[in-house]
DNA sequence: AAACAGTGTTTCATATAATGAAACGTTTTA
DNA sequence: TAAAACGTTTCATTATATGAAACACTGTTT
């Protein structure tokens, strides 16, 4: 946590630490509960929240609870990195979803995790739902395994050394050597499968997206419940996803 | 500026003031230039930027310049308010754009300005391009005029009293009474036109989106260059946009 | 090659501004 | 009706943000 002890502005750190408490699962916070949650003094928390509200970073609900505010929406839309990727992935993802009728995700690797940049949800009732902008473990998702597989050798080695391979389901790869072999296989076949490795009942298939220097910069996945997702369709899926990947590749540098 | 003199955390205010310097037009900032721009001390600016970087709010470029970071992308995607609107506007906007082949915008009123929540760009070369999450003056845009027209009486009165009607082009409505009459007309006909009132050569048509209590909560617009945008097509445009508005209305509460 | 200008970075004494315990109003719950 | 729960304000204290100046590094100019 306190790695470098650089001389940071503590108030600003606290402010963003407070903001981190706002998640999909808990979108509303009162002063007191947030102070307790983060271990800050009530007064401090109160003033920070107040400050953030006056900046439009937070806004108050009817219940006097705080919510993330539109300033963050504004700033979030200005983030330059990956913006192009998001923009040009939209239509191809939709085309894939239309053909396969399952949820399609688009992500990159950031800080050794999968960062979801875009998605198109399945039109069907039973579907996967991931939060855009959220992170997920790389080693147990199809997208993540694709991105890991095509990582430069040294970066992959670093990852494999430092990552903690916790089991999410009984199928999760928790052994470094097994993972290494899996990644080798993915490099050859140019797609990755996630056979309920992250979540029981959830199967995904992912393929790489290349830039024009031949580097893998992103990945597309299709996810569905194991009840629908039949392995005999894989060849079909692959060709549809490949088409989408190429459509994205045509637009990026 | 210093309206209430509430006791705010100044560091946090400064941090966000720095972030506000990052715009579409200027996405990169160095320490020194940003310090000068905001009138802060170089050391202070340096430390704030450093802090923000360590939080992932900013990230460094190759050139040692700072860019908005992925933390903001993450937070921006969690902003609950208007999220539903964004989600359900996507497909209808695309359908409109496909039929009309012009850029389609979707926005709400926030702090008396138009906040753009979503868009689908025209497939044609010559097109309007607005930044999602950005704000625009209400009184000289079609979306804005629709949203003003259906504002509760008191709120509209407040707006008309306080707004400064600056001319953007020769066509901008700069007279309060003229604007009031225009809004009256919009209420009746249920659509607004922007005849080069914001920008020369740019014409827009906008229509309201209602919630199920009959209140106007958002607006859809179609924008195109005056060279293409013919008034004889208006009836056609109206019916296409109306269809889109209804598709959105079907999904929101 | 030396001087210079333009950067980011670090230092350190100083004063400002963030801090927290406690008290104060409200509203909600028992 | 008491008590608990919550947001808000106060005020003395001390922690910490501050800024001028020096430093280090880079590329440009003379």
C-alpha angle with apex A75: A71 to A76, nearest 5 degrees? Answer: 115
Q: Show which of B76, B98, B127 is a domain's final residue.
A: B76
Residue A95 sits in the same domain as residue A71:
no
Distance from the B233 Cα atom to the nearest Cα atom in chain A, whole angstroms: 27
- Tokens 């109160």 identify what position? A46
CB-based contact A138:A156 (threshold 8 Å): no
Closest partner CB to A70 (pick from B11, B68, B115) = B115
Q: According to the model, what pLDDT value does residue A1 have?
A: 31
Residue A66 sits in the same domain as residue A96:
no
- Interface A-B, measured as beta-carbon pairs within 8 A, has a size of 146
Average pLDDT in the A194-201 region?
A: 95
The token pair that represents A109 in the structure block = 């690797």
The residue among A126 and A65 whose pLDDT is bigger is A65
Q: Indicate the pLDDT class of residue A240, thresholds 50, 70 and 90.
A: very high
Res. A2: pLDDT tops 60: no
Q: Indicate the pLDDT class of residue A246, thresholds 50, 70 and 90.
A: very high
Q: Indicate the pLDDT class of residue A3, thresholds 50, 70 and 90.
A: very low
Residue nearest to nucleotide D5 (CA to C1'): A32
Q: Is B2 domain-assigned?
A: no
Structure confidence by residue, pLDDT tens digits, A92-123: 999 999 999 999 999 999 999 999 999 998 88
Distance from the A189 Cα atom to the nearest Cα atom in chain B, whole angstroms: 31
How far apart are the C-alpha atoms of A85 and A118, rounded to whole Å?
9
Q: According to the model, what pLDDT value does residue A6 have?
A: 66
List residues bridging with A218 in a β-sheet: A209
- Which of 135-174 (A) contact B at CB < 8 A? 135
Q: According to the model, what pLDDT value does residue A127 have?
A: 81
Residue B99 sits in the same domain as residue B129:
yes
How far apart are the C-alpha atoms of B194 and B139, rounded to whole Å?
10
Q: According to the model, what pLDDT value does residue A4 have?
A: 42
**Chain A within 8 Å of B133 (Cβ-Cβ)?**
yes
**Chain B within 8 Å of A200 (Cβ-Cβ)?**
no
Q: Do A78 and B22 touch (CB under 8 A)?
A: yes
Res. A84: pLDDT tops 50: yes
Q: Do A16 and B76 touch (CB under 8 A)?
A: no
Q: Is B199 domain-assigned?
A: yes
Residue B72 sits in the same domain as residue B87:
no
Average pLDDT in the A125-129 region?
A: 80
Q: According to the model, what pLDDT value does residue B6 have?
A: 66
Statement: the CB of A210 is under 7 Å from strand C: no
Q: Is A3 domain-assigned?
A: no
Q: Which residues of chain B have pLDDT under 70?
A: 1-6
Q: Show which of A76, A99, A115 is a domain's final residue.
A: A76
Q: What residue numbers bound the domain in which A125 lies?
A: 83-249
Residue B19 sits in the same domain as residue B135:
no
How many domains does chain A fold into? 2
Residue B72 sits in the same domain as residue B21:
yes
Structure confidence by residue, pLDDT tens digits, A49-83: 999 999 999 999 878 899 999 999 999 999 987 88
Closest residue by Cα to residue B166 from B176, B158, B153, B156: B176
């Amino acid at each position: 946590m306190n790695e470098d002890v650089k001389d940071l502005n503590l108030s600003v750190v606290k402010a963003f630490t407070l903001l981190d408490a706002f998640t999909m699962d808990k979108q509303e916070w009162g002063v007191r509960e947030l102070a307790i949650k983060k271990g800050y003094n009530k007064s401090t928390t109160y003033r920070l929240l107040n400050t953030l509200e006056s900046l439009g970073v937070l806004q108050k609900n009817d219940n006097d609870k705080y919510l993330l505010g539109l300033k963050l929406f504004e700033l979030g839309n200005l983030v330059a990195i990956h913006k192009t990727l998001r923009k040009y992935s939209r239509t191809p993802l939709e085309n894939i979803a239309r053909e396969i009728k399952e949820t399609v995700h688009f992500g990159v690797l950031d800080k050794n995790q999968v960062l979801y940049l875009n998605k198109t949800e399945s039109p069907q009732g039973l579907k996967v739902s991931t939060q855009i902008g959220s992170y997920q473990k790389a080693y147990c998702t199809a997208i993540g395994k694709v991105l890991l597989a095509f990582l430069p050798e040294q970066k992959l080695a670093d990852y494999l050394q430092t990552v903690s391979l916790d089991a999410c389901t009984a199928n999760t790869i928790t052994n470094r050597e097994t993972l290494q072999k899996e990644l080798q296989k993915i490099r050859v076949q140019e797609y990755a499968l996630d056979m309920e490795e992250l979540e029981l009942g959830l199967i995904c298939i992912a393929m790489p997206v290349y830039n024009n220097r031949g580097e893998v910069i992103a990945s597309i996945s299709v996810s569905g419940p194991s009840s629908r997702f039949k392995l005999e369709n894989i060849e079909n899926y692959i060709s549809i996803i490949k088409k989408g990947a190429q459509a994205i590749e045509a637009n990026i540098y």
